[in-house]
Every structure is written in C-alpha cells, then in structure tokens.
Amino acid sequence: MTASNKVVNILVVGIGGQGVMTASEILSEAAISQGYDVKKTEVAGMSQRGGVVSSHVRFGPRVLSPEIAPGEADILVGFEAAEAMRWCHYLRPEGVAMVNRLNLEPPVVSLGLYPYPADPVGEIRKQGVRLHDFDAGAIARELGDLRLVNTIMMGAIADALPFPAETLKERIVERFRARKPALAETNARAFDLGRAAAH
C-alpha cells in the first residue's frame, strides 16, 4: 500500500501496566511496514506502579518531531477513561476518541492529590468529541485474559488507520506465533472483537 501524504497523529494514554507502550510499538511497526516515516515518544509516570502513561505516535512521508501538539491528534486511544478525558483537548475537531470505559484511579488520586471525575466518559461527550466508548475489560474477561485489553483497543482503532486492519493484526499475532501459538489465536480473536466493538 502506498503511504499517504498526510502525517497521522495517534495519542495512546492509560495507566502503567495496561500496555500503552506496547501498543505504541505495535502501531509504529505496522506503519513502518507500510513505508511510513515514524516517530514516537513516551512519558511514563511511575508506570510500574500504576502511574499515568502516554505515548505519541506520528507517521507519514516525513515526520520531524515525535510530539503531538494540542489540537492535532487524529486518534486518541484511551485505555482508561479519566486519562482519555484528561487528554481529549489534544484531538483535532474531526479527530476520534476510542475509549475503554474502565475507571482505574492512579496513585495521585489515592494519595488525595487530585479528585477522580465522577463520569469521565460523560465529560468527554460534553466536549463534543467524536467518541466510541466500550468495555474492553468485559470483552477480555469473556476471552479469559484481562491482558487482552491492549489487543482489543488496537482492534478498535484499526479501521481508522490509513492502512489495512490486517496489517496491524498481523503485527500483533506474529509476536506470539513463534513462542505461544495458542496466544496468537486468542489475540487474533481479541483484535476482531475490538474491531467489532468500535462499530
């Protein structure tokens, strides 16, 4: 597939341990395989202890900076609802937010430094953002493994990308195929269910 002339900006946000950085790596690999120039950057605040994590992924014919400016993100992938709410001002007016309804309080909340919003998904909707929200955790539980949320969220954004959904799916599946074939099949199923949930 020929790379388009537009730079695509994807912001992935969540809580440490949810797979934010893995998701951005997979997105980058998929874009590189399609001939794009790719830049990414990550910010992890106590990522191993449930702190907030964000990753910027930018790809196009030529990308000079890895950072997405506020108001420039095409896709916001929210692994956790309040984090998605906190970052939604980064979206373009025509951008889309794909949000897992999970509410997971980071340490800054449990320490009493910040209040957790009562309805983060509702707050995003009030801002007029183009929003697709669903319970990725429930889908993962049905498949028997909560770690599949990452793959489910990747499936959810697949049809919003400028290359075939199968390209992204293959990148995920091949990570498991050699070492754990059973997990490869489960992740393929998780990807398909995430893709369906986004519609």
Give Cβ neighbours of residue 180 (< 8 Å, ≥ 6 apart). none
Please tell me the predicted confidence (pLDDT) of residue 180.
85
Does the structure show a pLDDT above 80 at 73? yes
Phi-psi region of 175 (alpha: psi -120 to 50; beta: other; left: phi over 0): alpha
Residues 84-135: pLDDT tens digits?
Answer: 999 999 999 999 999 999 887 766 677 777 788 889 999 999 999 999 999 9
Residues 135-180: pLDDT tens digits?
Answer: 999 999 999 998 899 999 999 999 999 999 999 999 999 988 878 8
What is the tally of helices (H) and strands (E) in the chain? Answer: 8, 6
Task: Locate the domains of the chain by residue range.
Answer: 8-197
CA distance 132 to 159: 13
CA distance 165 to 183: 19
CB 121 within 8 A of CB 88: no
**Inter-axis angle of helices 20-33 and 149-157, to 10 degrees?**
40
pTM summary value: 0.90
Pairing of strands 52-60, 37-44: antiparallel
Q: Considering only the top CATH level, what class is 8-197?
A: alpha beta
Which of 45, 48, 49 minimizes the C-alpha distance to 13? 45
